[in-house]
Structure 1
């Protein structure tokens, strides 16, 4: 999630949180954005984010990261809050028959609703997509 625009710029879903899943999502984010300024990532201290592969990708891309303390989610409160909203407002409302159904449902929430229709007071009552366009 881009903290400035509040846009979910890349996401993925897996049956388990793995290094490969995190790498794939990071690669999607890098491909979708054209940042001209330094990028700071704020992951937690999960093993996926402290892995050698992830560290190399960060280093080679010129990005940096800032880890929060263990058990201290407040450093990344905006993303923690967003995950809570996603679960309460959407995921927990359904019983998914399979992984594909869950993936399609979350895709709709992020791409068709959240980024495109969910307005934010802090963005001047614009959606993340609208705010990104006027901020470019």
Structure 2
């Protein structure tokens, strides 16, 4: 049993704790107790990679135009491309920081577009969003939820949203948990990929993020919120 547990743990590159290792066994049809898996992993010091996540701190801009949180009114999505969520986080690269923007489908938790750039501005938000529109082709009346960052309120970003007839939804003031799904992704990414790892160039970091999102997070990682299915698997069966 130890070798089977270690295989699953190593295949996840140390990203799985005991609940996901146990669920991986269930998917393989192996009968084993969850407590036994946890005990063996604890005894052999197999601990999932985690870290604390520090958000970029921005000054409150309550005097700038903001929009209501439409997610409070529409309920949970029941299909793809009904509700998307987006945000930006910073990543330390050498002695400076770079910025990662993502768009996430709230139905399947799939990352449908992302960009990594050296500057945080409206161009980053707009380019990430345009990539999502190109790949998914959503119908009108999509709810697109973000924080109150100026990069999402910029005229060029708003023009793109209007072009696709999107309802832009925003966090309530001081309520970063309104965008909890993307916050959770950033925490997972930093804990499972970036923690205790150094990158020497933007190109190298892009490659690792691409491999993580496309090769693991969307296609292999078991998500507890999806009944321990992957985002791609969840979309196929619903």
TM-score band w.r.t. shorter chain:
over 0.9
Residue 83 of structure 1 pairs with residue 186 of structure 2: yes
Residue in 2 that maps onto 1:125: 228
How far does the alpha carbon of each residue in 1:3-37 deviate from its partner, in whole angstroms, 9 at most, with x for none?
10110000111112111111110011001113346
Residue in 2 that maps onto 1:23: 126
**1:14 aligned to 111, 114, 117, which one?**
117
Contact 1:91 1:106 in 2 (8 A): no
SS of 1:9 mapped into structure 2: strand
Residue in 2 that maps onto 1:5: 108
Residues 2-81 of structure 1 correspond to what in structure 2 (within 5 A)?
2-36=105-139, 38-81=141-184
Contact 2:140 2:165 in 1 (8 A): no
> How many Å separate the matches in 2 of 1:37 and 1:64?
9
Residue in 1 that maps onto 2:199: 96
Structure 1 or 2: more helix by fraction: 1
Contact 1:14 1:21 in 2 (8 A): yes
How far does the alpha carbon of each residue in 1:106-127 deviate from its partner, in whole angstroms, 9 at most, with x for none?
1111110000101123323221
Q: What are the ranges of 5 or more consecutive residues in structure 1 without an aligned counterpart? A: none
After superposing on structure 2, the runs of 4+ consecutive aligned residues of structure 1 that deviate more than 6 Å are none
SS of 2:187 mapped into structure 1: helix
SS of 1:93 mapped into structure 2: coil
Query: Could you state the TM-score of these two structures normalised by the residue count of structure 1?
Result: 0.92
Q: What are the ranges of 5 or more consecutive residues in structure 2 without an aligned counterpart? A: 1-103
